[in-house]
Amino acid sequence: MKVLVIGAGGREHALAYKINLSPLVSEIHVIPGNDAMTHIAQTHPEIGESAHEEIIEFAEQQGIDWVIIGPEQPLIDGLADKLEAKGINTFGPNEAAAQIEGSKRFAKHLMAKYDIPTAQYYESHSKQEALDYLSQCDYPIVLKKDGLAAGKGVIIATNREEAIAAIEKLHDSENEVVVFEEYLEGEEFSLMTLVNGDYAVPFDCIAQDHKRAYDNDQGPNTGGMGAYCPVPHIDNSVIKETNQQIAQPIAQSLKSEGYHFFGLLYIGAMLTNEGPKVIEFNARFGDPEAQVLLKRMESDLMQHIIDLKNKQPIQFKWRDSSIVGVMLASKGYPGSYEKGKKVSDFETNNGTYFVSGLKREDGHFVTSGGRVVLALGEGKDIATAKREAYKAVNAIENEALFYREDIGNKAIH
Ligand code: AMP
Ligand code: GLY
């Protein structure tokens, strides 16, 4: 079987790594891919992930059996619709269903209509409407841009002054819609769920991300600074409850509303005193959650995708170990940062590093993005896996990079 992965980041590196282990797969391509993936897949840097027509032409010419779309943008831009129209098997939802990630408002309406537990919300269509709302809201209050914002469109305001500043920032154009949300307290976790219409199968292993830039959850929100799995202090009964209260009803509700979701639904949830509540949905694997989960997954991802397509039973199998991943990012990220900084060489094909932002120049790696590389460690528990992950961090020469020191600490007592 020939598989084409779309994307260029660490999540796609992990997808290519995992798919490469499948006995079903004979050939893997990545469009555009990155220079760290070339030992496990054929990359095609000359084709961009937004070049839909070229991607389709490539898939047809090469006789690709399955396309796996990694990032959100091509999904929201309708790449899956175009591939499906040509009869090419595609893992990743169509444009209409991908709105569950692309529009906070869409997701909120759906949850309200079908009684799916989430934070209370209010939607403002103008700066004035937003300012008026402040007279009745409690603090902290969460403000979110309606559309995609790469994890940077969320502001938690702890008082009226901060809320006014947030409104100024988020209501930056005429048509901007801002969603206000009740602040949820508790522990956050990420549950990946395979979805084909009303057939929804959550991973029976959750992961925890670290969204803030600095130690002890300080600093600005990022795309994710590290992750680990499993999460020993969140009981399996919570996964069951999240499945019953969130995963099954959201799949049903999408179907009832006439959407066809085929792909991976990421449930970002908060475990509150009243049980799990939705913080966000994504229409794709989390990054860096995918990297740690796919490293721990022992069963065959490609087989799971085929079984999902045919609505066959899916039984995941996991390694009997814990995985911790620490993100090394360019100094300055998520703000502005320099690119082109030399990073020492390291092994990129054995699952210890998944690369998001490096390219080869004159025979060595230089940085090309904000998040650069996730260093992974495996061990009998999170503490051991953490030690291994930081060994992998320290094996990279990293003057131009920074990372958090506390990845996994919530699971270590
Ligand atoms: P989002 O892009 O919606 O995932 O939000 C980014 C991060 O902001 C989340 O991972 C949470 O840490 C935080 N956050 C978002 N919404 C809420 C909420 N309603 N209550 C508390 N924290 C939130
Ligand atoms: N790590 C969070 C995300 O992928 O959205």
Per-domain residue ranges for the chain? 2-94, 120-182, 187-309, 322-411
Is 322-411 CATH 3.90.600.10? Answer: yes
Which ligand neighbours the alpha carbon of 289 most closely?
2
pLDDT for the residue 227: 98
pLDDT tens digits for range 284-333: 999 999 999 999 999 999 999 999 999 999 999 999 999 999 999 999 99
- Residue 12 sits at φ, ψ, to 5 deg, of -70, -35
CA distance 77 to 262: 16
Residues having CB closer than 6 A to ligand 2 are 151, 209, 223-224, 282, 286-287, 289
Percent of the chain topping pLDDT 70 = 99
Which ligand neighbours the alpha carbon of 146 most closely?
1
CA distance 400 to 409: 25
Q: Quote the ligand 1 centre to 154 CA distance (angstroms).
A: 7
Closest by Cα among 269, 262, 251 to 305: 262
Q: Quote the ligand 1 centre to 221 CA distance (angstroms).
A: 9
Which ligand neighbours the alpha carbon of 227 most closely?
2
Q: What contacts 228, CB < 8 A, 6 or more positions away?
A: 207, 208, 292, 322, 323, 324, 325, 382, 385, 386, 407, 408, 411
Q: Quote the ligand 2 centre to 167 CA distance (angstroms).
A: 24
Fold of 2-94: Rossmann fold (3.40.50)
Q: Quote the ligand 1 centre to 217 CA distance (angstroms).
A: 12
pLDDT tens digits for range 114-167: 999 999 999 999 999 999 999 889 999 999 887 776 555 788 999 999 999 999
CA distance 265 to 92: 9
CATH number for 120-182: choose from 3.30.1490.20, 3.40.640.10, 3.30.70.360, 3.40.50.1970. Answer: 3.30.1490.20
Q: Quote the ligand 1 centre to 280 CA distance (angstroms).
A: 7
| Ligand 1 binding pocket mutation candidate from 120, 142, 188, 267 (most atoms within 8 A of CB) | 142
| Ligand 1 binding pocket mutation candidate from 156, 217, 266 (most atoms within 8 A of CB) | 156
Mean pLDDT throughout 215-239?
Answer: 95
Please report which residue ranges of 257-405 form alpha helices under DSSP H: 289-296, 301-309, 382-394
- The separation between CA 380 and the C-alpha centre of its own chain, rounded to angstroms, equals 25
pLDDT tens digits for range 54-84: 999 999 999 999 999 999 999 999 999 999 9
Which pLDDT band holds residue 244 (cuts at 50, 70, 90)? very high
Mean pLDDT throughout 9-24?
Answer: 98
Q: How many residues make up the chain in this entry? A: 413
pTM: 0.95
pLDDT tens digits for range 376-406: 999 999 999 999 999 999 999 888 999 999 9
Q: 187-309 is classed in which CATH architecture?
A: 2-Layer Sandwich (3.30)
pLDDT for the residue 151: 57
Mean pLDDT throughout 228-254?
Answer: 98
